[in-house]
Amino acid sequence: MKKLLLVLTLIVACLVSAHSEEKKVLSVTIKTKKGPLSGILTIPPIEKDEKIPVVILCHGFMGNKETPLMQTLVDSLCNSGMATVCFDFDGHGASYGKQQDMTVPRQIDDVLGVFSFASRFPYASKFAIVGHSQGGVAAIMAAAELGESVSAVALIAPAAVLRDDALRGILFGTQYNPLSPPRTIALKDNAYTIGRDYITSAQNLPIYEKAKNYKGKTLILHGKADVVVPYTYSQRFDEVLEDSKLEMIEKQDHAFTKNEKIPAHLITRFLVETLK
């Protein structure tokens, strides 16, 4: 596995070893302990031997690396001189695995695997992780494990509500017995299926307890019109994190579908100030 990761890194290094006047958009396969993740590496124009920040982007529940929010973030960050690794969690998009095997702890492992991959980039100066919704929970919990290796985190409507929902026995309007969850739960007109392990692991997930161990700078964004994750969950993140800033955005929903440029602009400004 290490040899494969090194080969990918060397390929990327060759592509940016000389001055580049155009950005590079590369499809990458990121090897992890459980299986391969599909990713897109975007590198802005850089000079030979130049060091730039690298940002890992984590999509939300039932999402993928090609959602409008993720792609808007990629474009904004690249235009500001930062490389990005946008990837599909296991069981999503083009990555390995089944939807029903997805759990938050598995997604945390995915983030750690992507960081291991990105940490080998010869042009990387500092690292940040950005996560939306459930991807935000995985992002901050992974950052807590990585510690000072991650200089900044940005969370968009982080879905810490998932633990309370699992304890109440409700998921996107579907109700179940939380004391004896079914083997599978179908969502989105049977287009998406989660398994029992997702529920049982969520019920015991120490989200805030682990998140507070991250000491780096954190930006938290939440739309006031979010009906999926109440903004009170972001307020609590702001309380437990040591160096955080919370911005509440009027008239914006869970994924900022009315204007994805708002979180992209705010996160880009934050990361430019923090990383560059």
Domain ranges across the chain: 2-160+210-275
Residue 86 near residue 74 (C-beta atoms within 8 A): yes
Q: What is the pLDDT of residue 188?
A: 81
pLDDT recorded at residue 20:
52
Residue 33 pLDDT: 87
Spatial contact of 177 and 169, defined as CB atoms under 8 Å apart = yes
The closest of 109, 62, 110 to 86, measured between CA atoms, is 110
pLDDT at 191: 84
Written as tens digits, the pLDDT of the chain (276 aa) is 444 443 444 344 444 444 456 899 999 999 998 999 999 999 999 998 999 999 999 999 999 999 999 999 999 999 999 999 999 999 999 999 999 999 999 999 999 999 999 999 999 999 999 999 999 999 999 999 999 999 999 999 999 999 999 999 999 989 999 999 999 999 988 789 999 999 999 999 999 999 999 999 999 999 999 999 999 999 999 999 999 999 999 999 999 999 999 999 999 999 999 998
Write down the residue that tokens 């070893």 correspond to.
17
> Which residues partner with 24 through β-bridges?
43
DSSP state of 88: P
User: Using CA of residue 222, residue 226, residue 227, residue 228, what is the dihedral sign?
Assistant: negative
* AA identity, residue 261: K
CATH 3.30.360.10 fits 2-160+210-275, yes or no: no
